[in-house]
Amino acid sequence: MHANWKTWAHVTKLDPDKHLPPGAVEEIVTSGTDALMLSGTLNVTQENLRELLDMVSAYGLPLVVEPASPDCAIFDGEVDHLFVPSVMNTSDARWIIGKHYAWLRNSGSINWDIVVPEAYIVLNPASAVGRVTGADCTLAKEDVAAFVGVADRYFRFPIVYIEYSGTYGDPDIVRAASDAIEHAILYYGGGIRSAEQAAEMGSIADTIVVGNAVYEDGIDVLRATVRAVQ
């Protein structure tokens, strides 16, 4: 499989805090998805992250860890990439730069070859990530476009991630983000539960991320979302 994240159309997000039934991992890795992202907001520990990594690492699919905190960014040599988020639309600097500073301050050495910075724009106020980071989710599409421009043109983040986390987003807002991007790869995540939704967001964003559907709707829905964008 392709470890070049710039070419992925479909990423499956697995949460270390959620339980997968027996046999599910094999179904997921053979679904046609381009990569697995191990990522969650609440109750993510080195232990449950390690357990999930052990479950999925034997299959040869590209693996990304998206650390919820600096102590979960330790799997050098075992994953293809660390996708490290900075939340653009929060006034709490911990989620823009503070956690990142702590990571560098307290870690021995970092393999920068696997680190990919992500500019997150969080748009679901009811989501765990929205609450934890204090994100301002009441943004008009012009606001989102401006944040995207800052992330892409000024800070030069390689990924801009529109995160609706658990709810299906507004295609007009995602389109405004796409129109504002010059260089970055646009990721969309949130509430994709059908081939139609996957096709709609996949036609606007470069990469879609499907997460909750794996746990709540099952493997057939995951496969349908893969087919819709491949």
pLDDT digits (tens, 9 = 90+) for 187-213: 999 999 999 999 999 999 999 999 999
State the residue range of the domain holding 118.
5-229
Residue list, annotated binding site for sn-glycerol 1-phosphate? 13, 161-166, 191, 211-212
SS3 category, 54 = helix
Residue list, annotated binding site? 13, 15, 41, 161-166, 191, 211-212
Residue 3 is predicted with a pLDDT of 64
Residue list, annotated binding site for Mg(2+)? 15, 41
d(CA 21, CA 12): 16
Report the number of distinct structural domains present in the chain. 1
Residue 193 is predicted with a pLDDT of 96
CB atoms within 10 A of CB 31: 20
**Which domain CATH number covers 14?**
3.20.20.390
Beta-bridged to residue 161, according to DSSP, are 120, 187
Place of tokens 């989501």: 127
Residue by residue, pLDDT tens for the chain (230 residues) are 456 999 999 999 999 999 888 789 999 999 999 999 999 888 888 899 999 999 999 999 999 999 988 988 888 889 999 999 999 999 999 999 999 999 999 987 899 999 999 999 999 999 999 999 999 999 999 999 999 999 999 999 999 999 999 899 999 999 999 999 999 999 999 999 999 999 999 999 999 999 999 999 999 999 999 999 98
